[in-house]
Amino acid sequence: MRTVKVDIAERSYQIVIDQHLLMNVGEQVQAFLKKGNKVALLVSKTVKKLYSDRVVRSLITSGYEVDMFLVPSGEENKNLTTVSKLYDELIENSYDRSCAIIALGGGIVGDVSGFVSSSLFRGLPFIQLPTTLLSQVDSSVGGKVGVNHSQGKNLIGAFYQPKVVLIDPTVLKTLEIRELICGYGEILKYGFIRDASFLQTCLDNKNSIISLKDMELISEIIRRSVEIKAEMVSEDEQEAGFRMLLNFGHTIGHAIEKSCGYGKFLHGEAVILGMCAALKISMEKLGLDSVKGKSAIDSLCKIKLGHDLSTLDIDKAMIALMHDKKIRDGKLNFVLLKDIGSPVIVNDITPEMVRETLLWLKERYKNGAGS
């Protein structure tokens, strides 16, 4: 068993990583919820079929009353309509402040469930059981919860920390390869911004990670990823500065995701494209060593994505970028690298430079994986 602490005063919590942990999840939950309390398990259809039985059994054995509620899959359903439907269902089922919400699923289930937990009855205890690689290394940690607005991703939300994050890496075995690649993208992000040697390990072991060949290695990579995230969240819970570095690759990534239509590029795929763009701008603007920069771009470009970029509408992407949450005082905040592991926030990148970079990216990815 591996544990990492997110250290934020009375909101501190543990992230527990252990193979087959879901079988005994009830025991882990006992430290946070009184026996006999009602628990709402929020889950996607796919994860319900695969993993809800073992979780429900374990929770009931540990003395909880469990109801299950479905969260529809897909970025297009991560919205206030879904949240409102969940409020209705929980209220109709007599949920109150003595109850808790457990999210079992990927980042969408986690973000939606967390937002419902933060707002229903002014806050219910919330536990994360992330089941995708991306949610295990990133979205379940740090307390950013929320939903999309038609004008942009994650525009509605809160900072609301879970009581605990319980990670069972064995559930990754049923994930589609494309989803594993998304998680791999976020793992590389941690290396780029914080740990060059971790980045190298992850690049050297790409095939082993994506094929889940070595569960010990995967568990350790998850641990190091959440350790980096926990450090950054512990220092800057509400993203006043330091935590913003976690947005490396996300500014252009979000713009691509939104302008291409949610669902075309998955979040992690868009982040991989965004990191390529940020590395290019880092070389031009900050003098990131071109050998290191180009080699990193080549490694990212070799990662197979679900789509090519031939239909990217650059005007639409620029509009999406201007609606990004990362605009402060009318300026675009970009996370760039002075060196691998040395990020900085830069706010004077011109729209022309972004446009040129998008054209370059579109050309590189016109046939799928970047050439």
Ligand X SMILES: NC(=O)c1ccc[n+]([C@@H]2O[C@H](COP(=O)([O-])OP(=O)(O)OC[C@H]3O[C@@H](n4cnc5c(N)ncnc54)[C@H](O)[C@@H]3O)[C@@H](O)[C@H]2O)c1
Closest CA to 151 of 316, 324, 267: 324
Residue 306 and residue 324: Cα distance in Å, rounded?
A: 24
Could you say which of 8, 15, 134, 221 contacts ligand X (CB under 6 A)?
134
Residue 309 and residue 270: Cα distance in Å, rounded?
A: 11
**Does 269 interact with ligand X (rule: CB under 6 A)?**
no
Q: Which is nearer to ligand X, 48 or 364 (CB)?
A: 48
Could you say which of 47, 232, 317, 361 contacts ligand X (CB under 6 A)?
47
Q: Which is nearer to ligand X, 118 or 364 (CB)?
A: 118
In the range 143-202, which residues lie near ligand X by CB under 6 A?
144, 153-154, 171, 174-175, 179, 182
Q: Which is nearer to ligand X, 24 or 295 (CB)?
A: 24
Which sequence positions are flagged as catalytic?
122, 144, 186, 229, 239, 243, 247, 250, 254, 267
**Does 75 interact with ligand X (rule: CB under 6 A)?**
yes
Q: Which is nearer to ligand X, 117 or 293 (CB)?
A: 117
**Does 267 interact with ligand X (rule: CB under 6 A)?**
yes
Specify the long-range contacts of residues 288-297, CB closer than 8 Å, at least 24 apart. Answer: 288/336, 288/337, 288/338, 288/339, 289/339, 292/339, 292/340, 293/337, 296/192, 296/340, 297/370
**Does 46 interact with ligand X (rule: CB under 6 A)?**
yes
Residue 343 and residue 159: Cα distance in Å, rounded?
A: 24
Residue 265 and residue 263: Cα distance in Å, rounded?
A: 6
Could you say which of 56, 111, 256, 296 contacts ligand X (CB under 6 A)?
111
Question: In angstroms, what is the minimal distance from the CB of 356 to ligand X?
Answer: 27
Closest CA to 129 of 217, 7, 64, 41: 41
**Does 283 interact with ligand X (rule: CB under 6 A)?**
no
Residue 262 and residue 265: Cα distance in Å, rounded?
A: 7
Which residue is at the shortest CB distance from ligand X?
A: 107
Only one residue has tokens 């976020």, namely 186
